[in-house]
Structure 1
Amino acid sequence: MHARQELMFATVDNPSNAVEWALAEMLNQPEMLQKATEKLDAVVGKDRLVQESDLPRLKYVKACVKESFRLHPLAPFNVPHVSTQDTVVGGYLIPKGSHVILSRPGLGRNPRIWEDPLKYKPERHMKDMEDARMDLNDPELTMFSFSTGRRGCPGVLLGSTLTVMLLARLLQCFSWKIPPGHSQIDLAECEDAGFLSKPLVAVAEPRFPQPN
């Protein structure tokens, strides 16, 4: 008998990177930061911390995370795939044995699909933010956060939950401001990855009274 082994590897959008980008973008649009906080308070209140059970109802916060995934993917390409037979996709012939690699920024910033593709606009995702849905995959495949199909990310629900929870806790517990002496956050990207070229620096003030 011959044992068959498969090696599956992947690269993912780091939750902390996605939240860092979301906060950076929202700090440059303070009305958006205020809206997200107000929506969060309306669902959770101010007497307890946000819990995982609250997340499906935090539609705007989920949309903020999904927009961060769209506009600022950590990895520029999806995991490579190999076609098992000749096929036609979008009018293009993909011969059997072809290695298929998709540009994630190319999809997420495609002006033929997205209006104002370089602008951070969470509202564009609100129609997909159902109460019962927690994963942040794109049903129309106009962006790749977690890939799809048999080689899709098995941790899509975990990754979505961790990222939304992280942003929700940061918004609930702190008021965020641009540091004194700066008019806006520098949104320049690293050349070889989807990180901010300079780590985000912001002023965080507790929103609730501190325990004695």
Structure 2
Amino acid sequence: MSLIVGRRYAFGEDEKDGEVRLFTRAMRQLMFLIGAFEYSDVIPFIEWMDLQGHVKLMKQIAKLMDYFMSRWLEEHVQSRKHALVKEERDFMDVLLSLFPEGGVEYGHNHRNIVKGTALSMIVAGSDTTTAAMIWALSLLLNHNKYLKLVQQELDMHVGRERWAEESDIKDLIYLQAVVKETLRLYPPGPLSIPRESIEDCHVAGYFVPKGTRLIVNVWKLHRDPRVWTDPCEFRPERFLDRNAEAGERGREFEFEYLPFGSGRRSCPGAKAAHLMTHLTLARLLQGFNVTAPMDGMVDMSEGLGLVLPKATPLDVVVFPRLKRELYLQ
């Protein structure tokens, strides 16, 4: 949110609490609806009945999202108009600088293009990063030895006198392996965004006619026993030596590992998502010792949605592990 529209929300700010809760609830409902099963997907002619009420709810959420995006866009426009902003502060400012006021592209005015693009970035980046963080922490709580190894690495390369920074991530090799293994087991998009073949072709002996909708099962690909040793096991060390895991292929991972897609149509926010996940997880594990309530095992059941969520909320007990002054900065 801060990178895209310059908004940073935190619960506890009374005047903003209502807005925060409304927006976060709408986001959760949106992500659920995008991945929800619809009877009309199987029986198309009953679509008009909206038996599950999903169409009605989606329209309500769309209006709410448009309200938020319109308000934030107007704030940016006014700030630029009155010279309150001398440089681009966020993604929405950059988009506004690219389009003249009142212009039209492909039948859409520039304001709608800016709103739509910014909203797409928010939707694509918010829940995916959150889900990755939750799964990573859940896996580490169930595999304490890996949790300790990450914290030892943080103590060695960062220490306990300051917070981890973006520049430290390159040295945190084991942390990177943990994040990669998390994204292998629980990819942010278990099914890829649909594509459509533009011409007849043959793939692995199968005829794919023009106009076929193509969806890659990333979750299954990441757990293929023909590619991965012990595919359902959490083993971050498999990413410490790529060629060892690749075996006789003698090359790095290519199409076996696609948490953010591949090629020109891959996720444009992959680098930002990687950075956010690594830095947030690094600071959390550097600053706190974490355990599951009663030292029990975390339920790893998967829920439903476009982004792969946990079926049950993650409860964590935290204890500070740094000196008090650092938490007051």
Equivalent position to 1:86, from 200, 206, 223: 200
Residue 135 of structure 2 corresponds to which residue in structure 1?
21
CA deviation map 1:49-76 (0-9, x unaligned): 1100111221111111111111112433
RMSD: 2.5
> Per chain length, whose mean CA-contact separation is higher, i.e. which structure has more relative contact order (CA < 8 Å, sep 6+)?
1
Residue 132 of structure 1 corresponds to which residue in structure 2?
none
Residue 185 of structure 1 corresponds to which residue in structure 2?
298
User: Take 2:314 and 2:324, find their aligned partners in 1: how far apart are those partners?
Assistant: 25
Q: Alignment identity in percent? A: 35
- Unaligned segments of structure 2, at least 5 residues: 1-104, 243-251
1:87 Cα deviation (Å)?
Answer: 3.0
User: Take 1:113 and 1:127, find their aligned partners in 2: how far apart are those partners?
Assistant: 15
Amino acid paired to 2:300: L
Residue 315 of structure 2 corresponds to which residue in structure 1?
201
Equivalent position to 1:54, from 168, 177, 184: 168
1:76 lines up with 2:190 in the alignment = yes
CA deviation map 1:127-157 (0-9, x unaligned): 35xxxxxxxxx84121321111121111111
1:90 Cα deviation (Å)?
Answer: 3.3
In the TM superposition, what are the counterparts of 1:90-169 in structure 2 within 5 Å?
Answer: 90-127=204-241, 139-169=253-283
User: Take 1:55 and 1:63, find their aligned partners in 2: how far apart are those partners?
Assistant: 11
Larger Rg: 2
Matched residue SS, 2:282: helix
Is 71-80 or 59-68 further displaced after alignment?
71-80
User: Take 1:165 and 1:187, find their aligned partners in 2: how far apart are those partners?
Assistant: 23
Query: Normalization by structure 1: what TM-score?
Result: 0.84
User: Take 1:49 and 1:184, find their aligned partners in 2: how far apart are those partners?
Assistant: 29
Aligned in 2, Cα 1:103/1:4: closer, same or farther, shift over 3 Å? farther
User: Take 1:76 and 1:54, find their aligned partners in 2: how far apart are those partners?
Assistant: 30
| Structure with greater proportional helix content | 2
- Unaligned segments of structure 1, at least 5 residues: 129-137
Equivalent position to 2:158, from 36, 41, 44: 44
Amino acid paired to 1:104: V
Amino acid paired to 2:298: I
1:4 Cα deviation (Å)?
Answer: 8.1
Contact 2:200 2:209 (C-alpha < 8 Å) held by counterparts: yes
Amino acid paired to 1:80: P
Matched residue SS, 2:240: helix
Matched residue SS, 1:176: strand
User: Take 1:30 and 1:3, find their aligned partners in 2: how far apart are those partners?
Assistant: 54
Contact 2:189 2:259 (C-alpha < 8 Å) held by counterparts: no
How many pairs align? 201
1:167 Cα deviation (Å)?
Answer: 0.8
1:176 lines up with 2:293 in the alignment = no
Amino acid paired to 2:283: R
User: Take 1:148 and 1:154, find their aligned partners in 2: how far apart are those partners?
Assistant: 10
Contact 1:43 1:58 (C-alpha < 8 Å) held by counterparts: yes
